[in-house]
Structure 1
């Protein structure tokens, strides 16, 4: 491909990504970010209980632990446009870091030139529906994924005494990343698991000491209020529990638990043979499947899995490249929303749960290890030699 052709391809992809993001931004208008901003402003500027605040004409309020509220506290003193700018920049930067950390070896190995492949990869990520949703809702998903990825790929992989800190901090901000503590335990990284647990506990206790009433409200009441997060059967809930809820609103949640247990068994079987990047990818997939609520924007946790599948596909396994390409296109298309109002019938069942089926496939298809020669030339520890602690 000539330099002119590469420039035209990048220009076209950039315009497409910008247009999709712009229209999505108009539609969603940083809805979740406005909840964070309104809730912390109500708490710090009006003296109210953060978990009592609800967005105007909605039932949605602040759902994160108190430690997250302290991290978001600066929002209360910044003008709304600046809050949006900071959130957007943080999302873009953390996304770029995640892509480079996970997919960098493939970019250096297959990119001609590497800068072109890196730019094209970022544009492909930008049109991925979970990434678009994270950006335009103003969600924190990529920030948490970046913290966990940095911990696993650099601290855990190198046997650092600080390994587990990132997982612990992410757990203190949001409960879902706790699935990575399970990964540390299953792979017998006892010290890192202890550090993660201690970090999460310390952050939680620190928040409790600073705001005891808020902590009491969250851990005894708000955490159990499922009305604050939405309806399980809503098509945006692309978890196994969402599959059960759409199949029959009256179905017992036990069925969802049984499916989650099956996913957990497959994950445990696969992850014990996996290196750290694959462990990151597989555990991100597991978290999406077993969480009671996995909104579409939560599916950014699938990003490492997709990147590793593409990397292996570029290395010669074309079936994986085809799977990644077709699945990626489907997850850029918003196709599940066709069945937003009526997921009934065989076609509705298959279509409304499409992202769940892709997640299940990824649980089986993520390569457990990178092949020889894919290590970072700058000195990153070889994937197959990652120590355990």
Structure 2
């Protein structure tokens, strides 16, 4: 069998294994979140209160009004077409991200591009956060794609850089951390564009939906009961970790101390990343930090860790590893990926008492902390950069650039 046929067989085998595993293993979420979007926006379009509508078990719309405005077309669709539209948009977002993040890596290593992207698709589909995003019908991958549109624009020196971050922050608050990234790294124009876009989108929503805007910013934003139980195992943020120490009285002071520590490490590392021309590491670190400092980071929000896995893969030759550092990176990457695929945290959904329970229930938090501290910055190893850097230079990339749930 020649190399081309072996690649086709490998990809088909992986797709088959993934399809069977996803179909057989428990964990499908029944399109819960897209159901919330569809129900709440439909209720709103019929004259109801956007933030008053809830499901039978009490979950309602938790995003800013601009998110509802952007979802208005959903109100014209029946239930199954809504699911199809959500899947189509999620697929397009994933395709954009994989092309942006993986294609340069494939060029650098001289891999067959279709094969590298096909394997990346399989690896992406295996991740627990991605599976949850798809089966909840969540918007996470769409938001990551919007933010990474700005990476693409920054690498090309475009004046439009910041628009994607601004739109994502107007839809959901977590991506606003990337405005902080642009400020910390001295991207004043892009930061102003992002902030202006977010404010402009919010003002448009306020003009179109003044009552919903008033309700969100005066009531819904501050009502933590709308989001869910902080100690629930799906909340893989620092506050979730702290809450699991004492579910009745989470120590907010400890949480704030941890947040300050994470932001300090993040600021130091992203500034270094930009100094060394590694914009992709800077973006990846910011996504990791956003997951850690957000009060609520459901498992499906952890799609923000995906770019970090690609940065780790891009930092050195994957196989065979060329030195001890490369071997450590490969081992760390494999362990992190396997943990994120495993669904380990769900084993402790009904209780996380004892030291092993605490370790296992916060497994994804540990992966996030490890990525924040250890993600490689800059590409000090120089094995076979020629094709990769040539490609980056062709598009004008800077030196060294690898050119909720609702409840």
- TM-score band, normalised by shorter chain: over 0.9
Residue of structure 1 in register with 2:264 after alignment: 265
Deviation at 1:383, TM superposition (A): 4.5
Deviation at 1:376, TM superposition (A): 6.1
> Structure 2 residue aligned with 1:296, among 274, 284, 299?
299
- Between 1:108-117 and 1:69-78, the stretch displaced more is 108-117
Query: Where do 1:89-238 residues align within 5 Å?
Result: 89-110=88-109, 112-151=111-150, 153-238=151-236
Residue of structure 2 in register with 1:281 after alignment: 284
Q: What's the secondary structure of 2:350's corresponding residue?
A: coil
Residue of structure 2 in register with 1:380 after alignment: 395
Decide whether the 8 Å contact of 1:376 with 1:382 is kept in 2: no
Decide whether the 8 Å contact of 1:278 with 1:308 is kept in 2: yes
Decide whether the 8 Å contact of 1:370 with 1:383 is kept in 2: no
Query: Is residue 2:322 matched to residue 1:322?
Result: no
Query: Where do 1:346-385 residues align within 5 Å?
Result: 346-370=355-379, 372-373=385-386, 374-375=388-389, 377=391, 379-384=394-399
- Between 1:288-297 and 1:241-250, the stretch displaced more is 241-250
Shift in CA distance, 376/356, structure 1 to aligned 2, threshold 3 Å: farther
Q: Distance in 1 between matches of 2:26 and 2:36?
A: 16
Decide whether the 8 Å contact of 2:316 with 2:379 is kept in 1: no
Q: What's the secondary structure of 2:346's corresponding residue?
A: helix
Residue of structure 2 in register with 1:87 after alignment: 86
Decide whether the 8 Å contact of 1:369 with 1:384 is kept in 2: no
Residue of structure 2 in register with 1:49 after alignment: 49
Per-residue CA distance 1:15-70 (angstroms, 9 max, x = gap): 1222333357973110000000000010113x1001000012x1210001111101
Q: How many residues align?
A: 383
Residue of structure 1 in register with 2:405 after alignment: none
Decide whether the 8 Å contact of 2:36 with 2:55 is kept in 1: yes
Unaligned runs of 5+ in 2: 402-407
RMSD: 1.8
TM-score between the two structures when normalised by the length of structure 2? 0.90
Deviation at 1:324, TM superposition (A): 1.0
Q: Distance in 1 between matches of 2:17 and 2:259?
A: 37
Decide whether the 8 Å contact of 2:165 with 2:175 is kept in 1: yes
Unaligned runs of 5+ in 1: none
Per-residue CA distance 1:193-217 (angstroms, 9 max, x = gap): 1111111111111111111111101
Residue of structure 2 in register with 1:70 after alignment: 69
Q: What's the secondary structure of 1:341's corresponding residue?
A: coil
Q: Distance in 2 between matches of 1:375 and 1:139?
A: 36
Q: Distance in 2 between matches of 1:164 and 1:110?
A: 31
Residue of structure 1 in register with 2:244 after alignment: 246
